[in-house]
Structure 1
């Protein structure tokens, strides 16, 4: 069944309310912290108060005597007994040598490397007892100088070394493209635009903090880990094979309802391993629930790039070549996917929507005394889009062209299109997205709105961003050649029950995307049964075949495609059963709208009758078919999918205070086939909020001398609120993906990818009359006001003086 055929089926494109929302809205959800096991104790972690220090000694004598204490573990208890947390992507240097991979122990051994590093785990009967005992653990530290800024790491200033394996603190250097060819183009270009910019560090902050429960059964020698995680099979694989050395089949990982992840719950964290390991040591079930302050300190952070970019153009503004250098902050240790984010997921997207013939990229990745940095909603794609779309708008202004005009002059128009940075786009219509966005945004009326704003004594600016995203990382063999240490397929199992209802088991996982509804729509549409007759099961390695989980907007395009392949097998077998029942050849059987018919006749039977026959085989071709109607399929994509779109933002800026108000925001996206437009709209809304939040409000700041996290709570780290946004105007264009059976492309990250440059371009457009030529996120009021006074933007987004006064605001 082709994508075009599928999109015409009932339930596809229907805005059904989410099946899962009833339990969430009525308090009936089952999150990890809702689970209470028998004989359950509680863990609290002693965390380093220093960014960089030698652990001289740990005294647990008094803490061990305190009421309720069951056990206390530190680095000496695990040293030499297990491996460190693994990194899932190997990056090689230009000379072929591998990146530096220092060990990341689950409890610090001899040294701590960031504020919040795990020093000890205290287990007690109650959380309060564990907290009291944790405060009594005495740690003697020898404090060392801290290296915090990635810019400082790149300058190789000072003598601070985090890991002996990387004496200069560099993890790797990675390049993509033909440097000589690009440099040659720059020597003859009519115009060159240059840009320095920072992509500010973010803290994910999902509503549900990280939670884990480790359990062990002496009777069966089995472990169970309940955890708030986006990919339980990968969590189990990494923990068993690389850290604990346990047989995989002896460990079950269950990820029930997950209250948001945005990438921060993809990873194998130290706490998960500690609880699993200690459950056997103590023969107790052990629960740990992170407090919000712990999340700020120890959840993997996102972004944190410092880049220089240049675009060479001809006299008409046609792009000829681009070169980019990026210094990427990896934090103190390598996290699960961290090395792929500034390389495979970033540099390969720098072509964007444009026909730039030559691109050369250099990436230097550095260790610093900060929390590990890894994938966060978009993972490399927002960083690439921010750099490129800021650069493109700067090119427009320098060439005296409109932001829309320079984009249209350089859009790709012929597909498939091979970019100079490895990826090949299969389909798209970038002009259609731009045209629809301009109409929806009422760009023709902008001049009138600008005059009205100026009459109020304020500034108005308009900003464009035309993004492209790569979703559903694939295929496995290519990813493997590029350093991936795991497959990138997905699994789907369809169990048709005797009454014709269906249970779907998927290796994907939901943390707010509505998979229980969307996947049910796909199955119901294909089988011609009611959506309510389809249940979806995910998140349990004991029930679901091996799958790769949810990240990178892969669920419907990869997980849904695996389900479609399983449905192909169901249909093939069901046709043979129907042919037997109607005394026809299975080659003459057609299936549509839940009925099997014999071509050229009026003979037909419903899907339910075939399902019942499969399990009550009184009239059944047992010599040819086994009873039952269950099928499993794996799907490994042949390419990424490539959503794209154009976003247009208008801002108003108060000259007296520097306050930036997003007055209008328009987003037109191409997601290919849309299964449920209501869910897609919700995903876009959420992404826009996160992206605009980065542009205007959010900024993770460490003290550059001590490595202390200055934005360690919502008092100092400003999260966006509903009142910060206008009513978004959304629309879509559809060019179906050509290489998956659904024609889908992925939508979960788009809003966070395309919106930050649109906002900052609008801010710069508004400030241009005052002489402000550059500005980095976040555009907080005081920073904008300071830029207006100076006629240029402050350059250091990590300046400690900006932490409390400009990033946060009091809680309501």
Structure 2
């Protein structure tokens, strides 16, 4: 029977009660007494020189308190980048200053120029319209290849060119890879685009700055995935506020997908303005602002080559990628196309030689950073598309060519630095073949053809690296922060337990899953466990939530802290029962002496810890509170095998997804229902990128042409099918205490190549053999044009 509590139970999410009844506490729900409002005047040109800003008329308008410009921030730092990449020649990347407000130049549409603070939001907006800007518009550069040409318009004049870095990995493999490709029995080459997307979480960003003049303390309420990191970056590198004088609070957050990891200019402005004006200051993004101020995702142009021997074994992979950074370096942007991408180019396969070259480029566009999957979707898309193309060129089964090259022995040291600790890729494919009913595909294709439709089947295998770690390794790779996680566990005198975690929940279900783990360890009922997160004033220093790290890293810190609590309670229980500590067992919320009927209840031990009348004071202190920091020894490596069936209308090019099946290895699963939801959400986002979403700029002017839902197509319910997912019997991670691997990004990583593979299969089934690739998004127009050549 399915479990009804603890690890492995599909416990309903407790946080959903407040979300679904409208009683959640989101940042925009917070209003501080006496607050003023901010409206940002943003650039409506992609590139230009700021000659002058006349705010006189605006400052005289009703309710206006102050208008900030770039000059107000000349003495403070710029928005910092959290990762430095060293190029293949040993040189550090170019790192231009990212001002809080544009100073001297504007570099993309949406670049903030002025911040108007007024008594009401309407007054701030009206005043912004009265500001007179003198901006000489300059030519904009949007296309990455053109940005690298001699004489190209410079996004940052002081850099000399638009190249951020030219990175090679593994550099010592380059000559061997070149030789292997030269001598291969077959080489498949594919040029592809990983299209730019906008994250669009349900809740737009919000920032509220507050300042306590009596104590000198600043507080920022913000929609963040990692409040401690925001406190560190903004306090130390932008505004110069000591950490003990800066509190960052991220309450309920309505989705992030990576876009709320970063420190943004609006957060610094509101914090700075609150202190300057001695008034709380609030900014709430509109959806239109989000399109041109939230960090975008993807935007790579790649050529990939796959070399095979006569037996169809992979011998080498070589890639060349242009990666768009946008106008500035967002917090973790440099790491995405490099260390989060190149280290996954071995995929599930035993390819002995891999070389990746990535050139990161500055353009007059919104900055690009990690978006759900962050580098791993880009790597998977390249690899799985070129493998599918190779199978078609060689006339072999796309499943069998993958099986022939699977890694089968673990641990497995890849040629791209990482070591897979566990997995079983053949078993995943076995599960997929059974669940997706490949044997019935021919009949389903025939039925589609009777209706005049083309039916295609696409498959994909992938592996990802999650729970990014360990700190000493990522430090060598350029990370400017540790990547541990922390937890403090406090047991009260009456037995209740509170976990204060450095992880942050913005949809993952921490308040449900973390108590399940504690319940399994202690025997407490889950309702006796409270989870606190998102406030730097009462949670230990942590790195937040991204990269599918919540349970693997944050959960492991919680387990370690709970183990300390249990060990201390066993000492107390042993004293109370006059027994040896080694004989004490904890089961179902009670401590007992092994082999006897002696026991003492959990609550009695807790009371003894706080009322130490009968207590081993010579050994341990009163109280029950422990903290643990967990720095993982390795990444975790979730893997999956996905299948998609589509119908394509040959008359219009419209694609309809009919079936989608997944087989995932997430290690040990804590809550199957929540994992299902995470996979479903990731699949919807991947399908959105594959078929619908595309952030488009005018190539000449740099205007953002897809700046609203009128022009940017988000997936709707009828764009996705009912998914069939399977994540049972995974191979446990070998190096964390829960054996977990992470699940939050898998659907977004595995879905895009699966969909494109299916569409190409459908189109070729209709006789269009010349169609070997169609770039995302596969809109009806693109598919029709490909078929009609």
Query: How would you bin the TM-score normalised by the shorter chain?
Result: over 0.9
**Residues 9 and 525 in structure 1, CA contact (< 8 A), matched pair in contact too:** no
Structure 2: 5+ residue stretches without partners: none
Alignment of 1:297 with 2:296, yes or no, is no
Structure 1 runs of 4+ aligned residues shifted over 4 Å read 7-10
**Residues 15 and 512 in structure 2, CA contact (< 8 A), matched pair in contact too:** yes
1:321 — aligned with what?
Answer: 316
1:163 — aligned with what?
Answer: 156
In structure 2, distance between residues paired with 1:40 and 1:291: 19
2:735 — aligned with what?
Answer: 739
Secondary structure of 1:322's counterpart equals: strand
1:92 — aligned with what?
Answer: 86
1:131 — aligned with what?
Answer: 125
Alignment of 1:185 with 2:184, yes or no, is no
Secondary structure of 1:421's counterpart equals: coil
In structure 2, distance between residues paired with 1:773 and 1:466: 19
Aligned residues: 782
**Residues 4 and 10 in structure 2, CA contact (< 8 A), matched pair in contact too:** no
Secondary structure of 2:555's counterpart equals: helix
- How far is 1:8 from its partner? 9.9
- How far is 1:166 from its partner? 2.3
- How far is 1:157 from its partner? 5.7
Instruction: Tell me: CA distance 1:711–1:158, structure 2 relative to 1, closer, same or farther (3 Å).
Output: farther
2:137 — aligned with what?
Answer: 143
Secondary structure of 1:18's counterpart equals: coil
In structure 2, distance between residues paired with 1:521 and 1:274: 40
Describe how 1:325-404 pairs up with structure 2 within 5 A. Answer: 325-404=320-399
In structure 2, distance between residues paired with 1:736 and 1:616: 41
Secondary structure of 2:508's counterpart equals: coil
In structure 2, distance between residues paired with 1:525 and 1:559: 17
In structure 2, distance between residues paired with 1:646 and 1:158: 46
In structure 2, distance between residues paired with 1:319 and 1:8: 44
- How far is 1:606 from its partner? 2.2
- How far is 1:215 from its partner? 0.5
Describe how 1:70-469 pairs up with structure 2 within 5 A. Answer: 70-79=65-74, 81-154=75-148, 156=149, 158-177=151-170, 178-469=173-464
Secondary structure of 2:157's counterpart equals: coil
TM-score normalized by structure 1? 0.95
- How far is 1:39 from its partner? 0.9
- How far is 1:95 from its partner? 2.0
**Residues 767 and 788 in structure 1, CA contact (< 8 A), matched pair in contact too:** yes
Structure 1: 5+ residue stretches without partners: 1-6, 791-812
Describe how 1:505-524 pairs up with structure 2 within 5 A. Answer: 505-524=500-519
Secondary structure of 1:315's counterpart equals: coil
1:716 — aligned with what?
Answer: 711
- How far is 1:158 from its partner? 4.5
1:657 — aligned with what?
Answer: 652
**Residues 325 and 362 in structure 2, CA contact (< 8 A), matched pair in contact too:** yes
**Residues 9 and 526 in structure 1, CA contact (< 8 A), matched pair in contact too:** no
1:640 — aligned with what?
Answer: 635
1:765 — aligned with what?
Answer: 761
Alignment of 1:16 with 2:11, yes or no, is yes
In structure 2, distance between residues paired with 1:649 and 1:158: 46
2:722 — aligned with what?
Answer: 727
In structure 1, distance between residues paired with 2:473 and 2:150: 38
Deviations 1:613-651, CA, capped at 9 Å, x for gaps = 111212111121111111100000000000001000000
- How far is 1:760 from its partner? 0.2
In structure 2, distance between residues paired with 1:606 and 1:353: 49
1:783 — aligned with what?
Answer: 782
Q: 1:535 aligns with which of 530, 534, 537?
A: 530
In structure 2, distance between residues paired with 1:98 and 1:246: 28
Deviations 1:722-752, CA, capped at 9 Å, x for gaps = 1111110000141000000000000000000
Alignment of 1:627 with 2:622, yes or no, is yes
**Residues 101 and 165 in structure 1, CA contact (< 8 A), matched pair in contact too:** no
- How far is 1:9 from its partner? 11
- How far is 1:152 from its partner? 2.3
In structure 1, distance between residues paired with 2:203 and 2:150: 39
Instruction: Tell me: CA distance 1:10–1:22, structure 2 relative to 1, closer, same or farther (3 Å).
Output: closer
- How far is 1:325 from its partner? 0.6
Deviations 1:88-139, CA, capped at 9 Å, x for gaps = 0010112211100000000011100000001000000111000000111111
**Residues 186 and 312 in structure 1, CA contact (< 8 A), matched pair in contact too:** yes
Secondary structure of 1:216's counterpart equals: strand
Secondary structure of 1:385's counterpart equals: helix
- How far is 1:512 from its partner? 0.5
Secondary structure of 2:190's counterpart equals: strand
- How far is 1:153 from its partner? 2.2
- How far is 1:187 from its partner? 2.2
In structure 2, distance between residues paired with 1:746 and 1:419: 20
In structure 2, distance between residues paired with 1:724 and 1:159: 41
Q: 1:480 aligns with which of 475, 484, 491?
A: 475
TM-score normalized by structure 2? 0.98
Deviations 1:277-333, CA, capped at 9 Å, x for gaps = 011111110000000000001100000000000011011211011111111000000
